[in-house]
Chains A and B, each alone.
Chain A
Amino acid sequence: MEKGFFHHALTIREDICTGCSLCMRVCPTEALRIRDGKARLIEDRCVDCGECFRNCPVHAIIIEQDDFSRIFDYKYRVALVPAVLHGQFRHEVSMSEISAVLKSLGFTWVYEVEHGAEILKPAIDDLMDMRTLPRPLISSYCPAIVRLIQVRFPALIRNIATVKAPLEMAAFYCRRVLRDGGAHNAEIGVFYVTPCAAKIAAVKSPVGEESTPISGVINMDFIYNKINRTLRNKGELKYGDDHAYSVNPETLAWSLTNGEASCINGSTLAIDGMNNVTEFLEQLENDEITGVDYLELRACDEGCAGGVLLSSNRFLVAERLRNKARNLKPGTDSPETEEFKNIEAYKEYLMNKVRITEEIMPRSMYRLSGDRDEAMKMMKRSRRLMCWLPGTDCGLCGAPSCQALAEDIVRQRGDISQCVFIRESNMGKNLMDMERSSEIMKRIWGDNNFTKNCNKKGAENESN
């Protein structure tokens, strides 16, 4: 892959975007700007956390997914399902029902991602025993966090635990089982039902890995809607599936906050939410934190229960899942059959695949230039600009903060006249006329925001 190219699952639909700038204000890496009345993404800064998607009031940000019919390119079609999918349904809805619906859609095997965590737990404990590794080790589970570290905290890359995600372990297992049953690798399609955009980006352009055993992704909201519809029109479907929920209760809640940390030996800490994580990493990078051996960090509040592609309330999802884990008795409903040996049987094979082998590279968002003298010049200039910019972070320039505008200017991505305070002051000194000023304003915010529109959200005749 070419350096500087990053796959993002998030796309801004220009025909829908109203340029309200909410996304720009919530982006934790200041990766968005407003131009011509539309949000624009600075690709190399985006970490795929999905905050923009979550906050967009008009749903102009979409998360790409593979065309569902692609599953039929394969003879063996595996759906890898994270436990949070199940957590979205009422307690009465069983995993067999969910599995039956997925099979009616065309999958031949439904497998829970959290089985993969059973392999990861010992792999992480092995890393924890290696005294030469820096402390704390940081979980590599959440791809948005790994990317956040690459972009904002490159010094902490060496703390990232070099293990793959449960998803990949589960995928390797499914492929191996099917191959052992006589299938060719090319006949096997492994599709992941994803709770978020970051996991899609991780599948499409993995960090620290050459290739992935995942064939494609299906967004969880799509599957959720399918299941809901089917369950509400019972009778159309025969519930003949005898799928038993077989995940180890200890690892079932792995994707929830403290689900992973509670499984790992040593002094562990779990933090969720982009802002909380950023604040903590800032302190960790300053060497202010001591006494933590393992850090579980999740971009979303409540872990994957708060994934942007989930449709139910995150707290309910988390509670249902924890409840489920409490009521599961280990081993009692293990579905080991002659056909499918369970994941434990392949432990040795999977442990050989568990480590990340490629180096995780930094992609600092702060770096002004690779040339020190040039970077110094740019930094001085940006600080001189800050002497004039108001420091109000009003965002009217189309950048999230005055500092962001100053840095845009020295990177030749912006102009000082974008600042409304500078323009007002220049007009006061007769250095700029009104016409020029409103031209600049329109270049940032587009023409539409200067005309009456009664259909907009909150207006007289609101209509979408």
Chain B
Amino acid sequence: MTFEYKVQGGDFTHAGYASSQVKKMLKQLDVDNVVIKRVVVCLYEAEVNIVAHAWDGVISIVLETDTIFMKLTDNGPGIPNIEQAMQRGFSTASHEVREMGFGAGMGLPNISANADKFLITSEPGKGTTVEITINLNSTAV
């Protein structure tokens, strides 16, 4: 099954909708709570990244019996140095975003730690694509 959710940059109010929808589906499939949590953490962090940094974006989800694949593509400033962005605590979030409790520089490292497969590509000035795959049957990270 495939699902698509649009994300609006700057709209923190509605962030988390996709996570809630996906969470309900995984509960229907009786996926282990630990795995659900990993999926939700990845998806929510990646969605918040779009909201915090990009102009807009799309979340595409492919849900199969054993795996979930989530691809988040945005139109935004892109990431000039991915290696740096992957470091814990590194953040380019604005003061405003940090005030709201986001932008602690844990987003990408957190996604990477919770995903079974994680791929990030970016073109400065154009946008970023994050691809996350999680095996629905294993509980170990």
Which A positions have Cβ atoms within 8 angstroms of B?
Answer: 154-155, 282-283, 285-288, 290-291, 362, 364, 366-370, 372-373, 375-376, 378-380, 383
With A366-B24, A376-B65 known as contacts, the answer to whether A285 contacts B40 (CB < 8 A) is: yes
Using Cβ atoms and an 8 Å threshold, which residues of chain A touch B37?
Answer: 155, 285, 287
Binary contact readout B33-61 vs A (1 if CB under 8 angstroms, 0 otherwise): 10011001100100000000000000000
- The tally of residues in B whose CB lies under 8 Å from a CB in A reads 22
Contacting A at CB under 8 A, from B1-41, are 1, 16, 19-20, 23-25, 27-30, 33, 36-37, 40-41
Shortest distance between the CB of B68 and any CB in chain A (Å) = 12
Using Cβ atoms and an 8 Å threshold, which residues of chain A touch B24?
Answer: 366
Write the chain B residue with the least CB distance to A154: B33
Q: Are A287 and B40 in contact (CB under 8 A)?
A: yes
Q: Are A373 and B65 in contact (CB under 8 A)?
A: yes
Q: Are B40 and A379 in contact (CB under 8 A)?
A: no
Write the chain A residue with the least CB distance to B25: A379
Q: How far, in angstroms, from A383 to B21 measured CA to CA in the complex?
A: 13
Q: Are B101 and A367 in contact (CB under 8 A)?
A: no
Using Cβ atoms and an 8 Å threshold, which residues of chain B touch A380?
Answer: 1
Using Cβ atoms and an 8 Å threshold, which residues of chain A touch B25?
Answer: 379
Q: Are B30 and A287 in contact (CB under 8 A)?
A: no
Write the chain A residue with the least CB distance to B15: A288
Write the chain B residue with the least CB distance to A368: B28
Shortest distance between the CB of B4 and any CB in chain A (Å) = 14
Shortest distance between the CB of A376 and any CB in chain B (Å) = 5
Q: How far, in angstroms, from A105 to B65 measured CA to CA in the complex?
A: 62
Shortest distance between the CB of A364 and any CB in chain B (Å) = 6
Apart from A366-B28, A368-B30, list 18 A-B contacts with CB within 8 A.
Answer: A154-B33, A155-B36, A285-B37, A286-B19, A286-B23, A286-B44, A287-B37, A287-B40, A287-B41, A288-B16, A368-B28, A368-B29, A369-B30, A370-B30, A373-B65, A376-B64, A376-B65, A380-B1
Q: How far, in angstroms, from A379 to B3 measured CA to CA in the complex?
A: 13
Using Cβ atoms and an 8 Å threshold, which residues of chain B touch A375?
Answer: 28-30
Q: How far, in angstroms, from A378 to B1 measured CA to CA in the complex?
A: 12
With A283-B16, A286-B20 known as contacts, the answer to whether A367 contacts B30 (CB < 8 A) is: yes
Shortest distance between the CB of B34 and any CB in chain A (Å) = 8
Task: Tell me if B's interface is mostly helix, strand, loop or mixed.
Answer: helix
Q: Are B33 and A155 in contact (CB under 8 A)?
A: yes
Using Cβ atoms and an 8 Å threshold, which residues of chain A touch B136?
Answer: 372
Q: How far, in angstroms, from A380 to B63 measured CA to CA in the complex?
A: 10
Using Cβ atoms and an 8 Å threshold, which residues of chain A touch B33?
Answer: 154-155, 362
Write the chain B residue with the least CB distance to A157: B33
Shortest distance between the CB of A160 and any CB in chain B (Å) = 14
Using Cβ atoms and an 8 Å threshold, which residues of chain B touch A287?
Answer: 37, 40-41, 44
Q: Are A286 and B65 in contact (CB under 8 A)?
A: no
- A–B complex contacts, Cβ < 8 Å, 16 sampled: A154-B27, A286-B23, A288-B16, A291-B101, A364-B27, A367-B28, A368-B28, A368-B30, A370-B30, A375-B29, A376-B29, A376-B65, A378-B28, A379-B29, A380-B1, A383-B1
Q: How far, in angstroms, from A290 to B1 measured CA to CA in the complex?
A: 32
With A366-B24, A373-B65, A380-B1 known as contacts, the answer to whether A286 contacts B30 (CB < 8 A) is: no
Q: How far, in angstroms, from A287 to B104 measured CA to CA in the complex?
A: 14
Write the chain B residue with the least CB distance to A366: B27
With A372-B65, A373-B65 known as contacts, the answer to whether A364 contacts B30 (CB < 8 A) is: yes
Residue picked from B19, B23, B24, B27, most chain A C-beta under 10 Å = B27
Q: How far, in angstroms, from A51 to B27 measured CA to CA in the complex?
A: 25
Q: Are B16 and A379 in contact (CB under 8 A)?
A: no
Q: How far, in angstroms, from A283 to B101 measured CA to CA in the complex?
A: 14
Using Cβ atoms and an 8 Å threshold, which residues of chain B touch A369?
Answer: 30
